[in-house]
Amino acid sequence: MTTKQGLKIAVIGGGSSYTPELVEGFILHYKELPVRELWLVDIEPGQRKLNIVGNLAKRMVEKSGLPIEIHLTTDRRQAIAGADFVSTQIRVGMLDARARDESIPLKYGVIGQETTGPGGMMKALRTIPVILGICRDIEELAPNAWLLNFTNPAGMVTEAVLRYSTVKSIGLCNAPIGLIKQVSAKYNVAPDRVYAEFVGLNHLHWITRIDVEGEDKLDDMLADTTSYSAKNVPAREWNPEFLQSLHALPSYYLKYFYMTDAMLAEQLEAFKQGENRAEVVKRVEEELFELYSDPDLKDKPQQLEQRGGAFYSEAAVNLMRSLYNGTNDIQTLNVANRGILDFLPDDASIEVNCVVTKTGPLALPLTKIPPMAKGLIHAVKTYEQLAIDAAVTGDRSLAIQALAHHPLVPSVEVAILMLDEMLEANKEYLPNFFGQVASV
C-alpha cells in the first residue's frame, strides 16, 4: 500500500445512496486511513445519481479541510488502476430488477425477497458475471488491492470471487454491525465491550453467544422477541418458546424459513396493495437524492438510516482501517470456510468472526454450532454453490437444480415454471444464458 502518498480507493457503484456514509467514514477516520484519492464509479444510466452523490462528497470533503481528491467516472478501469482498495456496491438491473425479483415468486406462492430464495438467485445470476468482470480488471490493474464486497447476495458473490478469480476478496454485511450497535445501546456500553459469535452463512446466521463486558446476555436478548430486526424485513415477532428451545438468536432473514406461511401472507397482502420493498426503497432514494442535491448540504443526512443497509459503509471503513493498520481486531466477515464448519466444503463462503490482520482475516474457531441449524445451512449452501456455477456458466440445468433444491421452493414443477419466467424477465442482464452482450 502506498503509505507515503496516501491510499487510492475505488467504489464501484459510487452513485449509491449509501456513498455519503462511506465518505463520512473516510473523513472521520482519516488519521488511521489516509485516503488520497476516492474514485466513485458508476454506469451511464447512473450518471445523474453519481453526479449528485459526487458533488455532495466533494462538499463534505471541502468542509472537512482534508486533502482527499474526489473523482467521478464511468471508466472503472481508470478508477481501479493502482487502487489499494476496491469496494463494490452495485445493483445490476437497478431497482426495477429488484421489483421483479420480489413480485414474480409471489405468483407461484413462493417468498419474494431480493437475497433469499428465487429472487436472491436471480440477483446472483445477474451480478456474479459483472463482479467477475471487475475482478479481471483488478487482476490486471491492481493485483495487490483488496476487494471489499457488499453487493448482495454478499456470501454468494464472495464465494464466486474466491472460486473463480485470484483477487483478495472479503464479503461484508450490515447485519452483524447492526446487532453489535443494538446490544451496545441496550446495555449502554461501548461496541468494543460486546462480543457476539455468529455462525452460518450470509443472511442465514445464528448468534450463539452474546457477552457484554464478560457477562452472558444471550438469555436477555432471547427474551426480547422483537429484537434484532431490520428495515427491509417485516418486524414479525419470534415465538418465545421457539427461541428458548433454539437457544440461539436467529438472523431476521431466518424468519423466511421459520415463519414461511406468515411471511408469505404478509408479502401477498402488500403486493395486492401495490406495495413491495423495491417501491419503498425507490421512494426513500428519491427523497435522499433530493436532499443530496441541496448545494448547502455538507453532511450525511440522518434520513439515510431509513435505508435497510444502514451501517454497510461503516463496516467497510472499519475493515479497511483494520487491514491497513493490522489492528488484529475481531469483525464478522464473509470468508472461505477452510474447515471452520466441518460439514461444508473448504471453499464455501461462511459468515463468522475473524481476526483482521494486515495480511487478511483469520476465521476464528466456533465455540458452539446449533445442531438443528446444520441441515438448513447445508441445504442452502448446496443451492448457493449450484447457483454460483449456473451464473458463471449460463447452464440452465444447474439453475433448475439450484432452485429445485432451495428449501423455500415447494416443487420441481414450480421451480421450472418460475425459473423460465424469471430468466425471460431478466434476459437483458443474463448474457451467459442468452448469448448476448450485457448492457452493464
Q: Give per-residue pLDDT as tens, 355-372.
A: 999 999 999 999 999 999
Is the predicted pLDDT of residue 295 greater than 60, yes or no?
yes
In a domain, 163, yes or no: yes
Q: Which of the pair, 185 or 437, is modelled with greater confidence?
A: 185
| Backbone dihedral angles phi then psi of residue 7, each to the nearest 5 degrees | -100, 150
- pLDDT score at 231: 54
pLDDT score, position 303 = 76
Is the pLDDT score of 237 beyond 90?
no
pLDDT value at 316 more than 80: yes
According to DSSP, the β-strands at 215-216 and 249-250 are unpaired
Average pLDDT estimate for 165-174: 96
pLDDT of residue 228: 57
First to last CA, the chain: 30
Residue-level pLDDT at 264: 97
Would you say residue 308 lies in a domain? no
Angle, CA 435 vertex, CA 434 and CA 439 arms, to 5°? 85
Q: Is 188 annotated as a binding residue?
A: no
Per-residue pLDDT band at 226 (split at 50, 70, 90): low
Q: What is residue 283's predicted lDDT score, i.e. its pLDDT?
A: 87
Helices 412-425 and 396-404: angle between axes, nearest 10 degrees: 130
Q: How confident is the model over 51-77, as a mean pLDDT?
A: 98
Q: Domain residues for 30? A: 7-170
Residue with the larger pLDDT of the pair 406 and 228: 406
Q: Which three cell numbers stand for residue 6?
A: 496516501
Between 437 and 60, residue with greater pLDDT: 60
pLDDT confidence tier of residue 438, bands split at 50, 70 and 90: very low
Predicted local distance difference test score (pLDDT) of residue 439? 37
The domain that holds 26 is classified in CATH as 3.40.50.720
Q: How confident is the model at residue 57 (pLDDT cuts 50, 70, 90)?
A: very high
Q: Is residue 74 part of a domain?
A: yes
pTM summary value: 0.94
The answer to the question of residue 55 being in a domain is yes
| The pLDDT value given to residue 437 | 40
* Grid-cell match 426503497, residue found: 281
pLDDT band at 281 (very low <50, low <70, confident <90, very high): confident
Please state whether beta strands 204-212 and 194-201 pair in parallel, antiparallel, or not at all (unpaired): antiparallel
Q: Report how far residue 39's alpha carbon sits from residue 34's, in angstroms, rounded to the nearest whole number.
A: 14
| Residue 301 banded pLDDT, cuts 50, 70, 90 | confident
C-alpha cell at 90: 452495485
Q: What is the mean pLDDT of residues 6-20?
A: 96
**135 labeled part of a ligand binding site:** no
Q: Model confidence at 354, in pLDDT bands (50, 70, 90)?
A: very high
Is 49 within the bounds of a domain? yes
Task: Classify residue 325: in a domain, yes or no.
Answer: no
Rounded average pLDDT over 237-258: 94
Q: Is the pLDDT of residue 229 over 70?
A: no
Residue 140 placed within a domain: yes
Does residue 51 lie within any of the structural domains?
A: yes
pLDDT at 278: 86
For residue 269, how many C-alpha atoms fall within 13 Å in the half-sphere facing its CB? 7
Report the share of the chain in percent with pLDDT over 70.
94
Distance CA 366, CA 296 (A): 49
Tens digit of pLDDT for each residue in 104-156?
Answer: 999 999 999 999 999 999 999 999 999 999 999 999 999 999 999 989 999 99
Neighbours of 374 (CB within 10 A): 16
The residues assigned a catalytic role are: 253
DSSP state letter for 256? H
Q: Report the chain's mean pLDDT, rounded to a whole number.
A: 93
**pLDDT-based confidence at residue 277 (cuts at 50, 70, 90):** confident
- Give the per-residue pLDDT at 306: 62
pLDDT at 96 over 70: yes
Residue carrying the nine cell digits 478508477 = 79
Confidence bin at 3 (pLDDT 50/70/90): very low
CA dihedral 201, 206, 212, 213 (to 10 degrees): -50
pLDDT of res. 2: 46
pLDDT of 273 reads: 87
- Total domain count for the chain? 1
- Name the burial class of residue 126, with classes exposed (0-12), middle (13-18) and buried (19+) by CB atoms within 10 angstroms of its CB: buried
From the centroid of its chain, how far is CA 147? 13
- Among 78-82, 197-201, 315-319, where is mean pLDDT lowest? 315-319
